[in-house]
Every structure is written in C-alpha cells, then in structure tokens.
A and B are shown apart, each in its own frame.
Chain A
C-alpha cells in the first residue's frame, strides 16, 4: 500500500514537473514534446492506478491517453506546424521567470484549497487531487500567458490531462464517459487545426495580438 502510494505520488509529481516545463519552453517543438511527455506520464499514472487498485477499465483509459495524446496529437501538431510554417518561437506576454513564479503560487493555492475543501476524504486521494488541480491551473495559466494559437490548444489539452488525473482518483469513472471525452478532444483538435490553418492562410500569422488588431476592435 505504502509503496503503491509512493509510486503514484511520484508519477503525479512528474506530471506537475512537466506542466512547469510547458511554461518554460520557448520553441513550439519543445512545447509539443513536453506535452507528449506529460501525456505519457499520465498514461503511466493511470496504468499504475489500474494495476494497484485492480480496476482494469482504467487500462483502456491509459491506452487512449498514450496513443491519442502521447503520440497521435503531438505528431499531428508537429506536422501542422511544419506545413503551415508557423513561427518557431513562442511569443510571450510575461517573462519566463514571472510565469514560473505565478505557477508556484498557483500550486500552493491548489494545495491550500484542497485541504480546506476536501476534509472528509482520505489523505492520499486528497494529495492526488491537489496535484491534479495544480496541473489544471497551470494549463489555464499557459493559455493566458502565451500568444500563439498552437500553444493555446496545448494548454487546453494539458488541462484535460489534469482532469483525467483527478478523475482516476475518484471511484470508478465509467468507460463510456472516457471514450466520449476522448472523442471530444479529438474533434476539438480537428476544429482547432482547421481553424488555425484558415487563420494562417488568411492573415499570415497566428499571433493573437495581431489577430485582435485585425478584428477591427478599437484599442
């Protein structure tokens, strides 16, 4: 029991570290690789939960996470980036240092909040929940502080990863829900990719600030 908890904690912590790595990167290729690493770690974490808690349906979740989010989506996005010739550097709203500091503060906030709110649950479930909440918040932070549409997609999907981590801690998430979630992710990816392609075609850039100006709203 103790050892199982240690390993799951290790994997959840590794996912948190990859979320920070997502904030730190300056090139789109590195961002996509970090996202792939996060999804693979998620898959491992879910698989371990499946094995140690004896819930075989989670193996399928792990497999979906691994194939879709760990392999298919990053490769597809790599190809999209290459084909559209999107600018390789990620434009930043705030510097790396400030983003990392805010990330640390969000992690502390997530911890403090979970302890306040989830007083009834067992302590190891509470800790996984805190880490998962932190990952969700960091994904959101990434969507805010990066100006590139591709990184927005990645941030959104890393929020998904956090939600799945939280859900594995909960008692029995049915397979149907998982499959539908996976499909919705896939579809949203296609939508985003098409959207991004169209924007790029039309405006020659996917920089959100520039797009904002072209929208014609006064600033």
Chain B
C-alpha cells in the first residue's frame, strides 16, 4: 500500500502549500513523482493479478472506508496516473513568477488524489466521497478565472450537473445496497439486486456516470467547463476525469449488478451512438480551439459507451469472446483517448500560451513558428481520427469487429440495431477526421491570420517534453496494440469472463486477433513496416530519377496577387459543406444572405442561424419550468402562523392515514 500512502502524502503536503511563493513550484514535481509511484504499483497489480485491499477506520461509523486495488482499478489507475504525469511535467514548464497562483496549483494534487481514490474505493461511501471531492476540486479549478463571466457561467452549470449526477449515483448505490444497507462492494456482489431494482440502478448509473462523462443529453456542461479551466487541467478533465466516470459505469454495470439482461445493452448503445455523431457535429461547427476538443471528448465517450453496451449485449447472450472483443475495444479506447486527448489539450495550452488566442480564426501558420508543438499536435490529431498505424485505430478496429459480430445476436432489437450502429460509428470516424483536419489546417497550417499568430514562439522544454512523451505513447500504442490488448487479460476475465486470443495465435508476435485468426487480423507493425519501406523506396527512386531541385515561389493566385491572409479558408468556411449537409437536419442550420437593393451602399449581410435543440429541450425548458415552479411555491415563505399549522396538521394526518391503510 505504499502507493496509497504516497498519494495521501501528496495531498497532505500540498494542502499545506496553500501558502504562496516558492512552495507552489514544488507542486508539479511532487505530483509527477507521486503519479509515477502510483502508476508502478498499479502496473504491478495489473500484471501479477494480486489484489490489494485495506480498510481504514475513518468515515462512517461502523462501516469505515474500504479500499481495494484489483485489476480493473489498476488499469484505470494507470490511465489516471499517466494523465497526471503528463500534466505535471507540462506544469513544470510554467514560469514561476507569472503563471503559478494559489487558486490553481494547490488544487491540482487534490484533484489527482481524488481521482485515484475513486478507482480504489471498495464501498459506496468511499466512492461517493471521492467522487464529490473530484467534482469539487475540478469545479474550483474551472472557476479559477472567476473574473471572466464565461467561466462563472460554466462553473455554475458544472456544479448543477455534478449535483444531479451525484444524486443519481446515490440512488444507484442505494438500490445496490438494498434494504439491508450493505454498502461495501463485497456485500453487494454477494447479493445482486432484483431485476426491477437492477434496471433502475442501471438507469441511475447511466445518468450519474454519463453526465460526468458527457453523454447526451447530459453533455452541455462539458464544452463550457472543460475549456474554462487552465489547459493542463482541461487535459486532466477531458482525458482522465471522463474515464473515471466510465470506470464508475463499468464497476456498477459489469461488477456489482450481477449477470446482465439483454436489453440493458440498448440504452448505452443508443445514447452512445447519438452522442458520438452529435458531439462531432457540434465540434465541426465550433470556432474555439478548446471547445472543439471538448466536444470531441464527448464523441469519444459516446464511442466507449457503445462498446460497453455491445459488451453487455454479448455477455447477456452468453458469448464471452464477443464480449471480450467489445470490452477490450472500450478499455483500449479509454487508454488511447486519455493519451491523445491530453496531448491535444496540452497542445492547445501551448498555442494559447504562445499567441494568447483560442479562436481558430485568429491563428494560422503556427507550424513555422512552433515546429515541435505542431509535430506533436499532428500526431494527436491523426491518432484521434483513428488513422493507422496510430493507437486510435487499434481500439476503433476492435470496436468495428465487435459491431460486425453483432448480427449474430438473437434479439431482434440488437441485430437490427447493429447496421445502424455500424453506420453511425463510421460516420463518427469520418467526421472526426474532418474535424481534426479542420482544426489542424486552420490553426497550424496556412498563413497567420493575426499579429499574435505571426509572433508566436515555441513553448518551454518541459511542456514540449510532456507533449512529446504522449505523442510517443500514441505511436507505440498503435504499433504494440496487441501487447496492450493481451495485458488487459486479467481485467477482461474479471469483467466478462473471456479474453482475446493470445499473441501466439496470430501469424506474428504483434498481430491483433479478434475472435480467431481466420476471421480477422490486424497487424500494425507489418503494415507500418510496409509503408515505411514503400515510402523510403519511393524517396530513393524518385530522387534518383527526378530533378532534385525545389524552387520557392508565390502561391497560385489566378493572376490576382493577394497578400492578405484573410482570403484563405477560415474555420467556418471549412465547416460550411458539413453545416449544409448535416447541420440542416441536426440543428436546422440556415444560411441567409441579405443583399441590399441596387444603389444602396450598405454592405450585404451573411448570417448563419444554428439552433441547439438539445439545449432548448433538456436545459432551457426544464430550467424555465423549475424556475416557474419555484416562483409559485414561493408563497410558502409568506404564510401566516395558522396556515403553517394547517400544513403540519395535514402532513401528520396523511402519514397516519397511510400507516393505517398500508399495514
């Protein structure tokens, strides 16, 4: 339990660092060390399969605090600590005098420790306590720039949604504990709940964990809150905290609820697929760099929920190989997404630091000014678009294999849904590529659109190191995908009772096999080798045969030289075909041009109207209803004493009548 002890030490030492001054600068190195230690402990537990448990006497009287590090917790612990390490190394590059504040730095290790605690919690109390601690720490980080009204609004919405989520989880754990009140997870596993109660618990868990992860329709807080926090904290929130939410759902649905029923798969699959597509449609239309990344997080969380739903479906039908493939896809996507999303957010932080701007239409040409950041961001962008041979494609491939196996499921709803799901996932993948070509092309390529972009500089070494490390992990994760999948074997066994075929079943040591080698194989190193050989051969041959000189000249301009970079495509220009095709359906997007009459000298106006129906239906309307209701109920504040006595008397009589009738 040395890891846990060190984690606690990190928290204690830096709650004390609420002092200003040089102690703040120690936060990041210590967090990095703590993350490494915890990661090593988690890795050891994952690889050897030896669970570690403890019971602390603090907490609820008579129950105490149960902690357990099993292989599922260890896997998610590795995800968390990897992200914390990257963010800490990034933080070490901050300028001590100008950028560290007591509003942010002391809360960072608290946030990290809370996330670690959630995954090792072994009873409902520990889980909810750590969950709330995580929410509050991240809320405080979101509201760090409290003078900005956008940040305040984002923090307010975040607090409301977090409260709703925790309430749902309270309900879920209450259902799991049952009337006997056994809150420890071991007790819950021994007494799985009744089918009706299990269904309600699943829905509550979906609401609670889904809202933290950003599942539609509970997603609206995420694109507001994640960008408002400092960039390395955004990386943690998007890359890691959403994964903690997924851990919560996996723990409840696969571990605590007992054997699954087939229709449990439908809500995660349907909501996940809709989230994946809608999240990217939002992303493609947005013009703020960090908000685009936050919407893309929503999409990836949706994809993970689809994978989890498929794992539930296969599990419920007694097909452990299919469940293993789907679950491996989900878990690998958790790991991969934490890497490339953290990389992208750190890159966005670097851009913000270098130019002071976040809007895509104010950037451009950064590949010349910040070459290393641009290179790392490119790796992240290609990885998140699920392009081989990077890591995003490994989990995407496994998920597609699971979808292709889904027509074998007997229930009509499931096998009719499978082509629809497959099509939506393919659409999400293509939209992701479009979105990130747009982001990278507008921000880093082309010519600078503003003075700040033209004057950008490269970021400090520590930050480059953090981004570079994550980029390397993305590349290695892509090539060694099969090794990672095999390392997941203890987790898969615990959750679905099956596993992927081992490395010796495929044609080479590093080929990823789903189901069996005759059916589907993906061998990333061989393909990467082929591509490398092909490109090197081409390079050599072409340079031998061809004219080697390259001349620089002005770009093609149809004879009208245009020095202004404003004529190049902007982010919203790039999105226009997609807005026209998909936005018309999803958002009733309309473009209108008001042309003045001939002779009128006022300029023409081009306006685009995009209506967010989900916001209207799920947030604005209930918000208005709640406010209206509270206005009505406000009269209760102003009653006379006699009327209050009437209310109390009525409540007493009602309760007595119920007792009389029911017993």
Contact = CB atoms under 8 A, between A and B. Distances in A.
B569 interface: no
Contacts of A111: 416
B475 to A, nearest CB: 39
B416 A108 contact: yes
Contacts of B412: 112, 115-116
Contacts of A122: none
A98 B416 contact: no
A97 interface: yes
B652 interface: no
Nearest to A104: B420
Interface string A4-38: 00000000000000000000000000000000000
B451 interface: no
B585 A112 contact: no
Contacts of B416: 108, 111-112
B582 to A, nearest CB: 10
A210 B585 CA distance: 25
A99 B522 CA distance: 38
Interface string A99-136: 00000000010011001100000000000000000000
Contacts, number: 9
A108 B412 CA distance: 10
Contacts of B585: 95, 97-98
A198 to B, nearest CB: 38
A117 to B, nearest CB: 12
A80 B505 CA distance: 70
A116 B411 CA distance: 12
A112 B585 CA distance: 28
Q: Classify the interface of chain B: helix, strand, loop or mixed.
A: helix
A57 B416 CA distance: 38
Interface of A is mostly: helix
Interface in B553-605: 585
A97 B585 CA distance: 9
Contacts of A112: 412, 416
Nearest to B412: A112
B136 to A, nearest CB: 44
A95 B586 CA distance: 13
Nearest to A98: B585
Contacts of A97: 585
Interface string A126-164: 000000000000000000000000000000000000000
A108 B418 CA distance: 12
A108 B414 CA distance: 12
A209 to B, nearest CB: 20
Interface in B535-553: none
Contacts of A108: 416
Nearest to B582: A97
B613 to A, nearest CB: 15
Interface string A169-196: 0000000000000000000000000000
Residue in A95, A97, A108, A111 whose Cβ sees the most chain B Cβ within 10 Å: A108
Interface in A64-108: 95, 97-98, 108
Nearest to A116: B412
A97 B427 CA distance: 15
Interface string B491-532: 000000000000000000000000000000000000000000
B86 to A, nearest CB: 42
A115 B415 CA distance: 14
Nearest to A107: B416
Interface in B375-432: 412, 416
Interface string B468-481: 00000000000000
Interface in B583-635: 585
B514 to A, nearest CB: 27
A116 B585 CA distance: 34
A111 B416 CA distance: 10
A88 B274 CA distance: 38
Contacts of A98: 585
A67 B146 CA distance: 78
A12 to B, nearest CB: 20
Contacts of A116: 412
A137 to B, nearest CB: 15
B276 to A, nearest CB: 17
A119 to B, nearest CB: 13
A116 B416 CA distance: 14
A112 B415 CA distance: 10
B513 to A, nearest CB: 32
A89 B293 CA distance: 43
A98 B584 CA distance: 12
B586 to A, nearest CB: 12
Nearest to B416: A108
Nearest to A95: B585
B89 to A, nearest CB: 48
A111 B407 CA distance: 15
A115 B416 CA distance: 13
A43 to B, nearest CB: 31
A75 B266 CA distance: 49
B577 to A, nearest CB: 15
Nearest to A115: B412
A115 B585 CA distance: 33
Contacts of A95: 585
B415 to A, nearest CB: 10
Nearest to B581: A97
A110 to B, nearest CB: 11
A108 to B, nearest CB: 5
B38 to A, nearest CB: 48
B291 to A, nearest CB: 28
Q: Residue among A97, A98, A116 with the most chain B CB within 10 A?
A: A97
A108 B585 CA distance: 22
A108 B416 CA distance: 7
A98 B586 CA distance: 11
B441 to A, nearest CB: 28
B281 to A, nearest CB: 15
B418 to A, nearest CB: 11
A90 to B, nearest CB: 19
B182 to A, nearest CB: 41
A26 B412 CA distance: 34
A73 B412 CA distance: 40
B274 to A, nearest CB: 14
Nearest to B584: A95
A199 B412 CA distance: 46
Nearest to A112: B412
B638 to A, nearest CB: 43
B90 to A, nearest CB: 44
The 6 tightest CB contacts between A and B, nearest first, are A112-B412, A108-B416, A112-B416, A97-B585, A98-B585, A115-B412
Given A97-B585, A111-B416, A116-B412, 6 more contacts: A95-B585, A98-B585, A108-B416, A112-B412, A112-B416, A115-B412
9 contacts: A95-B585, A97-B585, A98-B585, A108-B416, A111-B416, A112-B412, A112-B416, A115-B412, A116-B412
Interface of A: 95, 97-98, 108, 111-112, 115-116
